[in-house]
Amino acid sequence: MRYALDVQYIGKNYSGSQIQYEGGKEIDKPTIQGEIEKAICTLLESKTQINNRPIKTIFSGRTDKGVNSLGQVIHFDYDKEIVASKFIYHVNEILPDDISVDNLRIVPDSFHAQKSAKTRYYRYELINRRYKQAFDGDILRVKYELNVERMQSALNFLLGEHDFSSFKSSGTLNPSKVCFIRRAEVEKQGDRIFIHIEGNRFLYNMVRTIVGTLLEIEGHKLPVEHMKNVLEAKDRRKAGQTVSPYGLTLMKVEY
């Protein structure tokens, strides 16, 4: 049977969501996938099999070190029936405090957490304030005043289907650079600014580079059309910096 599971995590203490390999061998770095597979195997499999992790998980998408999730989705196969309430309770007791799971359900064998996903919604949070405060944490703080109306006008150029080569990092392995963005909004709540971006797929560091370009436009008082020019250039050198991963959260995956 195939099971799907929702996953929440704080990414600060992990080297991204996915287990990493080098020369065919797993790199000994903490990852969200590694912790979840160990927890599931500890609960469902014999102790002699735990290190081999016979249960493999597939994630809806990769998130980098420091990126959080409120809506990551994974699937895994297991040949026995699982009681959802007991599974959720015990797996959460095993997992580190900064990772949790919920909503275990049986899905068709054709379901694939990554390939079946229709849209992914990310939110980037930043602080717009000159001075620091004790509970700012690792979230990016921008000292100069940001104009959310101008930021929204710049984001509007990204809506629809485009080649987002200008916003990808060099680590992008997928040759396809075309994405469809159906939502790109900026919202201000006090001294917090939230940037909401939803699309069918995202390139490596794409959201963080879009945010960096927004900040470049605001910081240098560039016309909002600069975002359109960057997009059409299909040249990473034209875009702004890739901002910190802290504050970026995968909010929801739709199927």
Q: Measured between alpha carbons, how far is 146 from 219 in angstroms, rounded to an integer? A: 8
Rg (CA), the chain: 20
pLDDT of 221: 96
Give the fold, CATH level 3, of 119-254: Alpha-Beta Plaits (3.30.70)
Tens digit of each residue's pLDDT (9 = 90 or more) over 190-225 = 999 999 999 999 999 999 999 999 999 999 999 999
The Cα–Cα gap between 5 and 92 comes to 12
Q: Does residue 186 have a pLDDT over 80?
A: yes
Residues 104-123 have a mean pLDDT of 97
Rounded to whole angstroms, the Cα distance separating 240 from 229 reads 12
List where CATH 3.30.70.580 sits in the chain: 2-107
As annotated, the active-site residues are: 64
How long is the chain? Answer: 255
Backbone dihedral angles phi then psi of residue 89, each to the nearest 5 degrees: -60, -50
Q: What is the pLDDT of residue 24?
A: 74
The pLDDT, as a whole number, for residue 52 is 56
Whether residue 53 is predicted with pLDDT greater than 60 in this model: the reply is no
For CATH 3.30.70.660, the residue range(s) in the chain are 119-254
* Class at the top of the CATH hierarchy for domain 2-107: alpha beta
Integer Cα distance of 253 and 73 in angstroms: 7
- Region 113-137: mean pLDDT is 96
CA distance 15 to 66: 8
Q: What's the gap between Cα 61 and its chain centre?
A: 7
Q: Where does the pLDDT of residue 149 fall: very low under 50, low under 70, confident under 90, or very high at 90 and above?
A: very high
User: Quick one: pLDDT at residue 174?
Assistant: 64
Residue whose tokens read 């940037």: 195
**% of the chain residues with pLDDT over 90:** 87
pLDDT at 50: 45
Which segments within the chain are labelled E, that is strand? 2-9, 21-22, 25-26, 58-59, 68-77, 99-107, 119-128, 141-142, 160-163, 178-189, 192-199, 248-254
Does the pLDDT at position 47 exceed 60?
A: no
Q: Cβ distance 43 to 87 under 8 Å?
A: yes
The predicted-structure confidence for 16-41, as pLDDT tens digits, reads as follows: 999 888 777 778 899 999 999 999 99
The per-residue pLDDT for range 159-178, each reduced to its tens digit, is 999 999 999 987 656 678 99
Whole-angstrom CA distances from 163 to 40, 57, 118, 238 are 39, 30, 18, 14
Mean pLDDT of the chain: 93
Average pLDDT in the 132-155 region?
96
Helices 206-219, 226-233: inter-axial angle, 10-degree rounding: 140
